[in-house]
Amino acid sequence: MTPRDQQGRRLHDLRISVTDRCSFRCPYCMPKELFGPAFEFIKRQQLLTYEEITRLARIFVELGVEKVRLTGGEPLLRRDLCDLIRWLAAVPGIRDLTLTTNGLLLPKFATDLAAAGLDRVTVSLDSLDEAVFGRMNDVGVGVDKILTGIDSALAAGLTPLKVNAVVQRGVNDHTIVDLARHFHGSGVIVRFIEFMDVGTTNGWRLDTVVPTAEIVERIDRVLPLEPVAANYPGEVAKRHRYRDGGGEIGVIASVTQPFCGGCTRARLSPEGKLFSCLFANTGHDLRAPLRAGDSDEDLRQRLARIWGKRDDRYSEIRSAATAQLPRIEMSYIGG
C-alpha cells in the first residue's frame, strides 16, 4: 500500500537525521553564536535507538520508501553508525542507502561504511578556496581534509559520489567555477544548492541567494553545459552535462524554481519525530507510540494517516508572511 498525500504525492524517500550535533559551525546552518557551549543538544536517551530506526524504516518501506539517506548534524559523529547501516542494508526494498556528511571523518570510516552496505555518499564542500572554506565551516578545517575524505570514499567504492555546495552571494559565489573545474572529468557530480531559508537562525535574505540560472550561466561561460533530462520524476537537482564529455553537475533551485509538486520525502528527526516538510514547525512523535508497544500494523496505519493528510508546499508559497512562521533548524532535520 503506497499512500498519497493531499497533493497526490507518494512516499518514496526517507531522510533519517541520526544526531543534531556537528563538528562544523557553518554559519548558514549552525551559527557559532547560537550553537555555542550553552546550546542544549538532544540527550542520548532521547535519541531513537538503531533498533527503533530500523523498525520504522522497515515500515516506511512497506509504505513505498525505496531510498534512505542518513544525515544530521554530522551523522558520522553518532557512535557505531556502521551497525545501523548494516541493519538498514538488510531491509528488503531499500534500493539506495546513502549518507550526507561534511567529510571530515571519511578517512576513518569510508571502508567500514562500504563494508556495512552503504551504497554511496554525498560530501558537502562549499569552496576550494582556503579562506572561503574556513569561513564557511567556521572551525578552521582545511580543504585538504575534505578532499582526503572524498578520496577515501572513492577508494572504498561509495560511488557515484556527489559534492554539495551551498552558494551564497558575496561569500563563495566567486569560487563556484573553480569547484566545477576541479571535479570536471572526475566522475564526481557537484551539486550547487541555492541558499535556503531553513530554520530561523542563519540570517537568510533573498538577496544572498544566487539563482540557479546565474550559477549555470557562470559555469557555462567557462565550461560549456547543456541540460539533461531528469533521472526520474521528482528529481530535486536539475542536471546539466559538460558538452566536452567531462561529466555533469546538478543545481538545486529550491528558492527560485521550487519543486514541491514532486516532493516525496519524509524526514525523521533524531528523537523520532516525523516531519513532512523541511520547513515544518512541528513533527509527529513516533517515539512515544514505539515505546508504548504499538504493533507494526498500528505504526503503519499511523504513518499512512500522517502522509495522507500531508499538504505541505512551503517553497511554492514562500512569502513575507510565511517567513515569519517558526521552523525547525537544518542541523536538527538534516536537509
- Which residues contribute to the site for ligand SAM (CB under 6 A)? 22, 28-29, 71-72, 74, 100-102, 124, 164, 166, 193, 195-196, 198, 202, 330-331, 334-335
- Contacts (Cβ under 8 Å, ≥6 apart) of 87: 50, 54
CB 260, min distance to ligand SAM, A: 16
- Contacts (Cβ under 8 Å, ≥6 apart) of 101: 74, 75, 76, 121, 122, 123, 124, 149
Residues 235-274 within binding reach of ligand SF4 (CB under 6 A):
259-260, 263, 265
Q: Given the complex with ligand SAM, which of 5 and 276 has the nearer CB atom? A: 276
Strand partners, 196: none
> Distance between CA 272 and CA 52 in Å, rounded?
9
Q: Given the complex with ligand SF4, which of 29 and 153 has the nearer CB atom? A: 29
Q: Which amino acid is at 274?
A: L
Residues 287-326 within binding reach of ligand SF4 (CB under 6 A):
312-315
Cell reading at 33:
553564536
CB 255, min distance to ligand SAM, A: 9
CB 103, min distance to ligand SF4, A: 9
Residue 22 touches ligand SF4, criterion: CB under 6 A:
yes
Q: Given the complex with ligand SF4, which of 168 and 331 has the nearer CB atom? A: 331
Cell reading at 238:
536539475
CB 239, min distance to ligand SF4, A: 17
> Distance between CA 212 and CA 220 in Å, rounded?
12
Q: How many residues bind ligand SF4 (CB under 6 A)?
A: 24
CB 30, min distance to ligand SF4, A: 4
Q: Given the complex with ligand SF4, which of 50 and 275 has the nearer CB atom? A: 275
> Distance between CA 301 and CA 295 in Å, rounded?
10
Q: How many CB atoms are located within 10 Å of the residue 59 CB? A: 19
Alpha-helix residue ranges (DSSP H) falling in the chain: 50-62, 81-89, 106-116, 130-137, 143-155, 176-183, 212-222, 287-291, 296-309, 320-323, 330-333
CB 72, min distance to ligand SF4, A: 6
Which span sits near ligand SF4 by CB under 6 A: 68-76, 107-115, 139-147, 319-327?
68-76
Beta strands in 126-264 (DSSP E): 162-167, 189-194, 225-228, 238-242, 248-252
Binding mask 105-124 for ligand SF4 (x = CB under 6 A): -------------------x
Q: Given the complex with ligand SF4, which of 47 and 225 has the nearer CB atom? A: 47
Q: Which helix (H) or strand (E) holds 14?
A: strand 13-17
Residues that bind ligand SF4 (CB under 6 A): 22, 24-26, 29-30, 72-74, 102, 124, 259-260, 263, 265, 277-279, 312-315, 330-331
